Amino acid sequence: MVKILKFLAYTLFFILALMYFMPKKNVYYLLEKELQANNIVISHEEVVDTGLSLKLNHLDIYMESIESAHVASVDISLFGLYNAVNMKDIKLTSVASSILPVKINDVSIRYSILNPLNVTLNAVGGFGSVSGYANVLDRNMTLILKPSKIMKRKYRSTLNGLRKKSNGEYEYVQNF
């Protein structure tokens, strides 16, 4: 029994040490380079390695050379078996204001080995709340929107592009 506990303790220590000393900033810069190949540029960010996670502050996101969003903070946790990206205080630019509210409070993207085929997403903002998943095997994404009163009143054209369900929610399905 003692040998099993020692083995588990050493294994846990090794995994935590590996995560702590992993060059997270370099992985982020590699990801940023890959995004640039798809015409998505992240600039003016402050990158902070917090040991087990990576924090990004004050990001400006440009798509196709057009400023698209400002993100106050991003927390990236890569644990192998469980990975998470949490974004807070996202403000879309006025370009997006014609299709949805520009304030997004919180976005959470998670991947777990317990559900290896799906990446889950949850978001809350002026549009209401969105929950969904992206299936990696089938290469499709399904989002369920519970619209806010503002979304129902000001952004009817956006809601018309989504499939309305019987419970008042809206569904968006896209292949990628």
pLDDT in tens, the chain (176 residues): 899 999 999 998 988 888 888 888 998 999 999 999 999 999 999 999 998 899 999 999 999 989 999 999 999 998 878 999 999 999 999 888 889 999 999 999 999 999 999 999 999 999 999 999 999 999 999 999 999 999 999 999 999 999 999 999 999 999 98
Contact (Cβ atoms closer than 8 angstroms) between residue 35 and residue 63: no
Cβ burial 98-115 (10 Å sphere, 16+ → b, else e): eebbbebeebbbbbeeee
β-strands 140-147, 118-125 pairing? unpaired
* pTM score of the predicted model: 0.87
Contact (Cβ atoms closer than 8 angstroms) between residue 55 and residue 73: yes
CA distances for 82 relative to 69, 77, 120, 145, angstroms:
27, 8, 12, 25
For 159, other C-beta atoms within 10 Å of its C-beta total: 15
User: For residues 18 and 14, what is the distance between their CA atoms, to the nearest angstrom?
Assistant: 6
